[in-house]
Structures are given as C-alpha cells and as structure tokens.
Amino acid sequence: MRPETLAIRTQTKRTAQKEHATPLFLTSSFVYDTAEDMAAAFADDSLDVNIYSRFSNPSVDEFVKKVCLLEGAEDGIATATGMAAVSACFMTFLSAGDHVISASAIFGSTHTIITKYLPKWGIEYSYFDMNTPEVIESLIKPNTKLLYVETPSNPGLDIIDLELVSAICKQHNIIFVVDNCFATPAVQQPIKFGADLVLHSATKFMDGQGRVLGGVVAGKKELIKQLYLFIRSFGPSMSPFNAWILSKSLETLFVRMEKHAANALYIAQKLEGHPALSWVKYPFLTSHPRFDVAQKQMQNGGGILTFELKSGVEGGRKFLNNLTWLSMTNNLGDSRTIASHPASTTHSKLTEEERSAVGITSGLIRLSVGLEHPDDILEEILSALSK
C-alpha cells in the first residue's frame, strides 16, 4: 500500500466488538490470565505484551506504527510533547564529556536545552549557521556524539541538505537527528536521506487542529530501543487519549498538507514584492536561498511562510492588531491560519543581535497558513498591511 492509504488503513487489530473506527484504549494498566504470565511480562523486556501505559499502550502503538510507515523508519516511540521527544534524544544518547553539534536556527526551547541545560550536565555544544554547512566538518571533535538540525527551521525557514549532512555524520559515526515538524512525513522523509532519528512535535500539523500535545521519534531500531528504556523509566510517555486523536488526524495528513502547501504558495507568491515588505520567504518560492535543496528533499513547500515588515518591531505589533479574524497565537500547523511576531513575543527578551543570530529579524511575521479559502486569508493580510 502507498503512504496515503497506510495513514488511513493502519489500525489496531479489530476487537470482538467489530468497531469500524479505531478504538481508544483509555487504560493505565493491563491484566494477566495467570501469575506466571504477569511474572514473565516483568521478567523479559523484549516480550510484546502491554504492562502499563507508561511503557506501551495499543492506541499509542497504532499512532507510532503509522508514523514509522510514513517516515520509512524501523521503529519509533511516542512522547507527551515535542520537547519530550527532543529532550529524550539528548538525555538518552549524550553523557557528561560528550559534544553535540547543532544548527543555530532551531526552536526556542531546543535552544534553551542546548545552551542552558546540556553544559550544566557536562555536555558541550557547537552551533553552525545552516547557510554554511561546509563548516560542520571543522566543528567535529573526537567526543562529538550527535548532530541536530531542523529543516525547514522554526521560524526562519532555513533549509539544509539532509544528504550532505548525513554523509558527514556517517563518516564520523555521529547520530544524525532531524526535527521534521515543519514538513511532516507527508512532505519530507529525512530517513531516506540518511537521518538516524526523525522527531516531531505532533502538536503541530500531525494533530492539525490545535487540540492535543504530543511528540514522536522514529528511526533505527537499536536507537529506539535505548529511547524506550529511557522513556519508560523517566516517564514522558504519550497519553492514550492524545494518541487516539493523533492517529485519527494522520488519516487526513496528506490531504491537509497538500492544501496547506497550495494555500501557502499562493499567498507567498501574491505577497512577494508588496511595498510594505522587505522580503517573503517560503521553501518553494524560487527566491528561497535553498530552493534547489527544498525541491530535492520536499514534496511541497509545507504550510509555513514568513515575511519581513519594513516597519520593524512596532510594525509587527501593529500588523497583529490590524488583523480581524486571523488568529494571533503561538501555535502552528492548525486548520486555522495563525500569525505570530517572534520579536515582540517569544523572543522579546533577546537583544536584537541575539535575535538576528538565530534568524529572527525585528519585523518577521510567521504565518502558519490554514485551510481557509486562500483569497480570504490573502485579503485579511493585505488589509492588515494597508492600515
């Protein structure tokens, strides 16, 4: 079966109730027929048996199985949030004395973990600019364990050549981790280009309607096994209810991502050249500095675009205040179009230099383009720009 069909038809084995839609296994623990079965379940980690929903749960397993099929991964594990997926990767594979290399253009909380927490635990880091991947080799040290990128990055929409980075990682025996949250597996499959692990904030496009939090990591079986042992002990597991929502959401992922991308491309093209804007950025605009790489590794440009208001921080605030129905919130990947202005909100505590070092300029507006009619979205933006 093709991925579009697998996203819909992958389902937990039908129960005796003969349900059509997938059932929700809202249970904390599972029962055994005999004391011997129970003892065996606890004695052998490799037994495929449910014990407790912090360890495994059929609703969670169904969601993970779908993600693995879509990403082309051997195995996977779900987490309570996207940040639980990110932090579990760092905590499972890094020890005191290790070194991690990361793109500097990454989600704010990931940046906080790398710069504030990893050094506290004796783990050093080096950042590189995604636009100069040729420097990566020079940053590698004998203790470099893991390399981390987001592509496209949040919020700068920088793109890196996954094939190029994975070749470097393979040569130096470094675990290559890709945050694929902006693209989703309906648009980009990093494992095909050599990533060892792919992770997501399932809170975003995977849910697609801004309802539940979730995260997932997919990739090599031997690495997922280590993540599983970490997560089952430390406890950032996915709730079965959230997994049920997310698994149902994956049924519509492909059609949603196609429409998000068609709407986003249309709006990006219409906004390019607007007199109030210095630039418009979208992976599938020919003006994107890595348009060629985006074409190679993405099936469409995804649902996020950014633009820079000539009027800076004050202009960003004004633009948000001029919106009438478009949502002003920090989430993304929703059926509803969302505008955010990082310089006056999520990144307001950073200096202008610190912001520009991570690709956030003063007038940057991030637009998570929803599924409304594209002309309604465009008219709302044009109207806010003209006021």
- Which residues contact ligand PLP (rule: CB under 6 A)? 81-83, 86, 107, 150, 154, 179, 181, 201, 203, 213, 215
* ω into 240 cis (within 30 of 0): no
Q: In whole angstroms, how close is the CB of 182 to ligand PLP at the nearest point?
A: 6
Nearest-CB residue to ligand PLP? 82
Asked if residues 47 and 41 have their Cβ atoms less than 8 Å apart, the reply is: yes
Task: Please enumerate in sequence order all residues whose Cβ is within 8 A of that of 177, keeping only pairs 6 or more positions apart, or say none.
Answer: 89, 146, 147, 148, 149, 195, 196, 197, 198, 199
Q: In whole angstroms, how close is the CB of 216 to ligand PLP at the nearest point?
A: 10
- Between 101 and 202, CB nearer to ligand PLP: 202
CA–CA separation, 206 vs 244, rounded Å? 12
- Between 5 and 330, CB nearer to ligand PLP: 330
| Tokens linked to 327 | 């949502």
Q: In whole angstroms, how close is the CB of 349 to ligand PLP at the nearest point?
A: 17
Q: In whole angstroms, how close is the CB of 113 to ligand PLP at the nearest point?
A: 11
- Between 50 and 151, CB nearer to ligand PLP: 151
- Between 107 and 176, CB nearer to ligand PLP: 107
- Between 50 and 237, CB nearer to ligand PLP: 237
What single letter denotes the amino acid at residue 121? W
- Between 50 and 79, CB nearer to ligand PLP: 79
SS3 state of residue 201 = strand
Looking at 172-310, list the stretches that DSSP marks H as alpha helix, in order from N- to C-terminal side. 221-234, 240-250, 253-271, 291-297
Report CA-CA distances (Å) from 27 to 60, 239, 242, 365: 11, 10, 13, 42
